[in-house]
Structure 1
Amino acid sequence: MIANTLILLIALLHLYILVLQMALWTKPTGRKAFKLSPEFAEASKVLAANQGLYNGFLAAGLLFSLTQGEAGRAFAIFFLVCILVAGIFGAITAHRKIMFIQSVPAVIALAAVFARI
């Protein structure tokens, strides 16, 4: 139950990131979230939309895992590891806070999945 709740929360987080990157990137909310100038936001909006789509796929995978009963455990592990790796890469290449936004919650959820709680 705890693992499923954590998976759901992480999926919702990635849906929120999808909205920020695909719909709000050039808007004040998106620019503030990512500390972007209006010029940079406009110039990079296609790249951001692409990133947002990938975040949506991560969310979809996690949500799918929740519908599959015990078989969904493997899907959850796969997508949580993807998020963990993406968070580490983002922390190295973009901003350290990505580690705490993506990787740390993924590790906590993975621990819950492996503990079967």
Structure 2
Amino acid sequence: MFMTTQILILLIALLHIYILILEMFLWEKPAGLRAFRNTPEKAAITKVLAANQGLYNGFLAAGLLWGLWLGEAGTSIKVFFLVCIAIAGIYGAATAARKILYIQTIPALIGLGLLLFA
């Protein structure tokens, strides 16, 4: 079960690196426009905000990777960052798009559950 939990947390970290790339580098490109259902005009106006948001997603990924690198000693770090991701996902689902709940919150809660109860 330990390995399954570690793999899931790694996948969550990789997801947040992908979100970082979308928000920081592809925001105005077709992939970014599709992912966030933006128009080129809206993307141009919100580019700086998206880049800042992408940076935060990168910090979430870095925290999970740090926790994974520490192994069992990093459990509390992984818990902290998974909780941060779940809360950010709940807020995003309530304010931006409901799909964030499925993309971000549910995987984080599953990872947290596996981490705490396995």
TM class by shorter chain equals over 0.9
Q: CA deviation at 1:37?
A: 0.4
Equivalent in the alignment of 2:42: 40
Name the CA distance, whole Å, in 1 between partners of 2:75 and 2:63.
11
Match of 2:73 among 60, 71, 79: 71
Moved over 4 A (4+): none
Q: How many residues align?
A: 116
Name the CA distance, whole Å, in 1 between partners of 2:104 and 2:17.
13
1:80 aligned to 2:75? Answer: no
Secondary structure of the 1:26 match is: coil
TM-score normalised over the length of structure 2:
0.96
Percent identical residues: 61
Structure 2: unaligned runs, 5 residues or longer: none
Q: CA deviation at 1:115?
A: 2.2
Q: Deviations over 1:43-94 (max 9, x none)?
A: 1000000000000000000000011122100000000000000000001111
Name the CA distance, whole Å, in 2 between partners of 1:111 and 1:3.
9
Residues 37-116 of structure 1 mapped to structure 2, 5 A cutoff: 37-116=39-118
Structure 1: unaligned runs, 5 residues or longer: none
TM-score normalised over the length of structure 1:
0.97
Equivalent in the alignment of 1:24: 26
Q: CA deviation at 1:111?
A: 0.9
